[in-house]
Amino acid sequence: MISSFSMERKISKKKDYLQFVLGIFAAMKITRNARLIGHNTMGIDAMADCIVEWASADELIPLLDELERPMLAIGQGSNLVFMDDFHGTVLVSAVRDIELLGQDDSSVLVKVGSGFVWDDFVTYAVLNGWWGVENLTAIPGQVGAAAVQNIGAYGQESSDCIETVMAISLEDGSRREFSRDECRYAYRQSIFKNELKGKYAISHVIFRLGLKPAPKLSYGNLSQKVEALGGATLANISRAVREIRAEKLPDPAILGNAGSFFMNPVIPAEQYKSLLAQYPDMPSYTAQSGMVKVPAGWLIEHAGWKGRSLGPAAVYEKQALVLVNTGGATGQDIMALANAITASVKEKYGITLNPEANLI
């Protein structure tokens, strides 16, 4: 079965949600000497020489030769820290179409615009009975950024469901499709964060989502929360995740933040065994062979940083993994706090923390 959805067509109840989140399709918008405060959830008031909001590859490609370089492709800026003004062009995706490419007995293939709000995509998948992204409910950002960052939560990662990433070369305007393997996904990593950083703008991501129940409930208290809501349905899992996140994570509209600021460090099992002898309550998760993943939030909290601040930058009082802008913080303020935390954790545990946030 192949079908597509458009704003012009009358749609069913489930598709009404799509119509609500899409709104009116955007057209290209170019702003010179523009403030970036509305384009990063940390709320840093940096400037860009130019911001281009583009709604299709056909709009963007002819313009590339005329734009100032370097170029930075972003979504909602939910994982960025601007260290200074950006002297170049910031590309903001407003590609918000969605298309059902195909379906078989066990899965659907869905093509989603990079500017589609990630949480709206998750909600749409849940409404349609599609499994694979429900644990990623309420993560801020857009679909394109999810493919770059390989976002994850509660045992799921976006890369688990990604089939293809469709991208535009910022050098010559050529189009390229990256298979999942070519994206080189790892924990919070992809080729777009490393070898190809700053070289492509993502236009669409193609996901393969399941039609058969496949709940993942082993992380934290998710299983208990879902059971209390009535069992492991898509709606209950998504609702449980949303409630858990709301209890411990700040709303960027109220308190500027970039979500989880640090990655959970992965250390050798022998090192963890040694640390466990000193800190018997240190939690862990399984990682690749011979390695152990330790929650960065636990390390930061037990190093005494939870709720503390340095100037206008602070560690969130309910979740030590989140750094917040309490008002007027610059990127340098945020990094001064991050560096102090990193040094403290290194001194106490011998573990080096690395940022999950992208430092621009």
Supply the residues annotated as catalytic.
188, 260, 356
Give the helix/strand (H/E) hosting 86: strand 86-93
φ/ψ region of 123 (left if φ > 0, alpha if ψ in -120 to 50, else beta) reads: alpha
The token pair at 50 is 């130019």
Please state the φ and ψ torsions of residue 26, each to the nearest 5 degrees.
-80, 155
Assess contact for 299 and 351: CB atoms under 8 A.
yes
**142 Cβ neighbours under 8 A, 6+ residues apart:** 75, 76, 78, 93, 114, 115, 116, 117, 118
| Centroid of chain to Cα 111 | 18
Q: What residues have CB less than 8 Å from 158, skipping those under 6 apart?
A: 133, 136, 146, 147, 149, 150, 151, 152
Phi-psi region of 81 (alpha: psi -120 to 50; beta: other; left: phi over 0): beta
- In the Cβ-directed half-sphere of 200, how many Cα atoms lie within 13 Å? 25
Distances 237 to 63, 124, 203, 222, 326 between C-alpha atoms, Å:
43, 14, 29, 8, 32
User: Is the Cβ–Cβ distance between 334 and 42 less than 8 Å?
Assistant: yes
Widest pairwise Cα distance in the chain = 63
Tell me how far apart the alpha carbons of residues 9 and 11 are, in angstroms, rounded to a whole number. 6
